[in-house]
Amino acid sequence: MKERILDRISSPSDLKDLTPAQLGQLATDIRDEMVLVTSKNGGHLAPNLGVVELTIGLHLAIDTPKDKIVWDVGHQSYVHKLLTGRRDKFSTLRQYAGLSGFPKQSESPHDCFDTGHASNSLSIALGMAQARDQLESDETIVAVIGDGSMTGGLAFEALNQAGHVKASLIVILNDNEMSIDGNVGALSSYLDRIRLDPTYNRFRHDVESALRCIPAVGEKMISFGETWKTAIKQFLVPGMLFEDLGFKYIGPIDGHDIKAVENSVQMAKTIGGPILIHA
């Protein structure tokens, strides 16, 4: 049987010795392990399949348990558990006397707060950041929150306060457009606007039509459509709300690209202050 890269990982520090190819294989190993265990024990499979590379990249950029990760969607922490010394017990997930399906401080020092799914991660992270500053310490504090959780009032209050006090913390917005039911409210509309706004769609159609009229190269230019659509999206929408709230905005980035996540978190650490990474 081929050795799994996952079997070499006892702590996040082990990730730093892996090549890019090995990190890619690790992501595959993690997905296979989660499918195997949740098919027997039940659990929240889909939310965790979507944050494999994001979690690996995050752990490459920080140093838990000194640095802190607050998971707003607590049941999205399976990958985190596999990377933080709980691989051998992962088969006991959600079983009596086994691993919890959520972060649990009594289970591991890498779990800094017991979270469920309540839009409270930003408030928790802000409290940790301000306590760190009072103690004149230097931990990196990261909150990972989904676009559904971000529509909660508690999250808005924390964004407002963090921007006001210029707290040094990193917010990763996992904008996967997924929740039990459709997201509602102004922020959801803000994040959706670029896909739904008729002005954007009409502009996109007009640009594409114009490109098709260019001999020889028009079709090739259209083949790069995703690139220019992303540029339009960045020009028209992203970042404005968060910048106005006092956050530096990074993104959108590909949350399934380990290196992109790692580099973005490293950049955020260098910049300092309140940073939002849109992944």
The pLDDT, as a whole number, for residue 189 is: 56
- For residue 243, the one-letter residue type is E
- For residue 35, the one-letter residue type is V
The pLDDT, as a whole number, for residue 195 is: 42
**Which residue in 73, 59, 60 sits closest to 122, CA to CA?**
73
Confidence label for 225 from pLDDT (cuts 50, 70 and 90): low
CA distance 177 to 195: 12
Average pLDDT over residues 49-64: 98
For residue 258, pLDDT over 80 is answered with yes
At CB < 8 A and 24+ separation, what contacts does 203-211 make? Answer: 203/232, 204/229, 204/232
- CATH number for the domain harbouring residue 28: 3.40.50.970
Q: Which residue has the higher pLDDT, 236 or 163?
A: 163
Q: For all residues of the chain together, what is the average pLDDT?
A: 86
The pLDDT, as a whole number, for residue 200 is: 47
The pLDDT, as a whole number, for residue 90 is: 97
74-78, 148-152, 261-265: least confident range: 148-152
For residue 220, pLDDT over 70 is answered with no
The pLDDT, as a whole number, for residue 158 is: 95
Average pLDDT over residues 191-203: 51
CB 278 within 8 A of CB 251: yes
Q: Give the range of the structural domain holding residue 34, as residue numbers without chain letter.
A: 5-278
pTM for this predicted structure: 0.80
For residue 204, pLDDT over 80 is answered with no
Number of compact structural domains in the chain = 1
CA distance 184 to 46: 21
Over pLDDT 70: what percentage of the chain? 78
**Residues pairing with 274 in the sheet:** 169
**Which residue in 241, 238, 240, 246 sits closest to 279, CA to CA?**
238
| DSSP string across the chain | -PPPGGGG-SSGGGGGG--HHHHHHHHHHHHHHHHHHHHHH---HHHHHTTHHHHHHHHHHS-TTTSEEEESBGGG-HHHHHHTT-GGGGGGTTSTTS--SS--TTT-TT--S---BSS-HHHHHHHHHHHHHHTT----EEEEEETTGGGSHHHHHHHHHHHHHT--EEEEEE-----SS---SHHHHHHHHHHH-HHHHHHHHHHHHHHHTSTTTHHHHHTTHHHHHHHHHHHHSTTHHHHHTT-EEE----TT-HHHHHHHHHHHHHH-SEEEEE-
For residue 185, pLDDT over 90 is answered with no
CA distance 91 to 263: 32
Over pLDDT 90: what percentage of the chain? 66
For residue 190, pLDDT over 70 is answered with no
